[in-house]
């Protein structure tokens, strides 16, 4: 056991050193793929050994927890990309921060080893005591059982936070307090572009603050919102019900007061009624008739089940049944193409045309759209500037008991959903 524990300590220190060297080369010199490959292999071994050492600490009372526990916990934290710290620093600095942290933790372990045992590794005499102790195992097990719910919640939030950060290019992040959305500014040749990440439900104050920050002179707002000229929606599609359930407001309540502008030519709809004290506003989005029929069907299903008037538990059951029957990879790809990529192309085109006539362009769109829009802005030579964060909602304000009651309530008699292609 002593050799196993010492091997783990040495492996951890080797991983720390290689990680630091690799990150320094990546950030300040030339990237060496061979070194990164070796580092990643050793990192995987450290994670596997960390799990083994952690379990063995509950069995072998001789393993010093004050030395080994910080090493294993830091390895587990690195698996979660150092959340929530990862949302507070740049992506470029995350790897270097993790490497410095690992070197620091490893250095502290060496200092403790020298202080307690006078050596750099665990001595043989320390393992001459009996291996097993009921007291050690019971206390260790009880502590883990007590902390398990918190660890699960933390891990789920970390995974969700890292996923959201990747999908929105950091425009939205999850913290232990709540969910935040960013607004970023970009400047080039006297022009200003503001990208404001949005969410369909949020605090009422979030929408109010955003609207209050809109300038007027020389400004256009590229608003989000799919139209339905051919009346393809069979149910009203709005988030008011979910917002009320969560004690929040829906994006539909955000009143953008300005001069309507036509998307085709960016000309005022009514020149005589134009108010120079207000910004111009254009719905820079698609119409539903340009979506694939399967996407339209999916939107109708969501409106009928999750956003309709049915009890939420019944709606969730009906939605799951539809997904099981029709949720193929082809349908999912079509959804992403319509809801994300096609609409991105429309708003980016409107943005490029708006730059010819306006000094300030504001794009308040959903966070998932922001990576593509930001890339288009940067491609035109714009330089990132100010960044502002707003709290979408705090977890403490969400009535979890009420939501769980709605979700877990007996669904009762479910209404059968029509098959794809059937008349609705």
Q: What is the pLDDT of residue 415?
A: 45
Where does 147-255 show beta strands of DSSP type E? 172-174, 178-188, 191-198, 201-202, 219-223, 249-250
The CA radius of gyration of the chain, in Å to the nearest whole number, is 27
Query: What are the pLDDT digits (tens) for 21-36?
Result: 999 999 998 889 999 9
Interatomic CA distance for residues 113 and 64, integer angstroms: 10
Query: What are the pLDDT digits (tens) for 202-248?
Result: 999 999 999 988 887 789 999 999 999 999 998 877 888 889 989 99
CA distances (Å), 250 to each of 47, 153, 228, 283, 286, in order? 43, 26, 19, 18, 21
Q: What is the pLDDT of residue 217?
A: 79
Band of the pLDDT at 271, cuts 50, 70, 90?
Answer: low
* Mean pLDDT for the stretch of residues 269-288: 83
Using DSSP bridges, classify how beta strands 201-202 and 249-250 pair: parallel, antiparallel or unpaired. antiparallel
Whether the predicted pLDDT of 417 surpasses 50: no
H or E segment to which residue 247 belongs: none
Whether the predicted pLDDT of 414 surpasses 50: no
Read off the pTM. 0.86
Query: What are the pLDDT digits (tens) for 328-368?
Result: 999 999 999 999 999 999 999 999 999 999 999 999 999 99
Label residue 60 exposed, middle or buried (CB < 10 Å: 0-12, 13-18, 19+): buried
Whether the predicted pLDDT of 422 surpasses 50: no
Whether the predicted pLDDT of 38 surpasses 80: yes
Q: What is the pLDDT of residue 312?
A: 86
Where does 178-268 show beta strands of DSSP type E? 178-188, 191-198, 201-202, 219-223, 249-250, 259-260
Query: What are the pLDDT digits (tens) for 169-210?
Result: 999 999 999 999 999 999 999 999 999 999 999 999 999 999
Q: What is the mean pLDDT of the chain?
A: 91
Whether the predicted pLDDT of 424 surpasses 90: no
């Amino acid at each position: 056991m002593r050799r196993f524990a010492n091997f783990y300590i040495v492996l951890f220190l080797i991983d720390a050193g290689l990680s630091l060297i690799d990150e320094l080369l990546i950030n300040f010199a030339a990237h060496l793929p061979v070194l990164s490959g070796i580092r990643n292999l050793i990192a995987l071994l450290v994670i596997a050994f960390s799990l083994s050492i952690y379990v063995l600490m509950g069995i072998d009372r001789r393993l010093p927890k004050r030395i080994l526990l910080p090493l294993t916990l830091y390895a587990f934290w690195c698996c979660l990309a150092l959340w929530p710290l990862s949302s507070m620093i740049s992506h470029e600095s995350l790897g270097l921060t993790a490497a410095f942290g690992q070197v620091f933790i490893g250095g502290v372990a060496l200092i403790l080893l020298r202080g307690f045992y006078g050596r750099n590794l665990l001595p043989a005499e320390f393992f001459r005591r009996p291996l097993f102790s009921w007291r050690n195992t019971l206390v260790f097990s009880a502590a883990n059982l007590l902390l398990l719910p918190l660890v699960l919640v933390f891990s789920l939030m970390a995974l969700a936070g890292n996923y959201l950060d990747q999908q929105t290019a950091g425009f939205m992040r999850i913290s232990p307090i709540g969910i935040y959305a960013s607004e970023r500014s970009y400047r080039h040749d006297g022009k200003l572009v503001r990208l404001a990440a949005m969410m369909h439900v949020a605090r009422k104050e979030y929408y109010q603050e955003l609207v209050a920050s809109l300038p007027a002179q020389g400004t256009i707002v590229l608003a989000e919102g799919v139209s339905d000229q051919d009346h393809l929606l069979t149910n009203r599609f709005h988030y008011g019900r979910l917002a009320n359930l969560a004690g929040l407001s829906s994006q539909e309540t955000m009143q953008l007061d300005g001069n309507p502008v036509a998307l085709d030519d960016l000309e005022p709809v009514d020149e005589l009624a134009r108010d120079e004290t207000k910004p111009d506003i254009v719905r820079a989005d698609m119409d539903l008739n340009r979506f694939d029929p399967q996407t339209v069907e999916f939107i109708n299903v969501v409106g009928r089940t999750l956003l309709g008037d049915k009890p939420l538990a019944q709606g969730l059951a009906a939605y799951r049944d539809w997904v099981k029957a029709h949720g193929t990879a082809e349908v999912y790809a079509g959804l992403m193409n319509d809801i994300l990529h096609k609409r991105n192309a429309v708003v980016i085109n409107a943005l490029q045309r708006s730059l010819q006539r306006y000094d300030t362009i504001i794009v308040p769109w959903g966070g998932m759209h922001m990576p593509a829009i930001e890339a288009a802005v940067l491609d035109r030579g714009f330089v990132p500037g100010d960044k502002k964060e707003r709290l979408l909602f705090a977890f403490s304000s969400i009535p979890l008991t009420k939501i769980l009651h709605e979700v877990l309530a007996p669904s009762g008699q479910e209404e059968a959903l029509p098959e794809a292609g059937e008349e609705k």
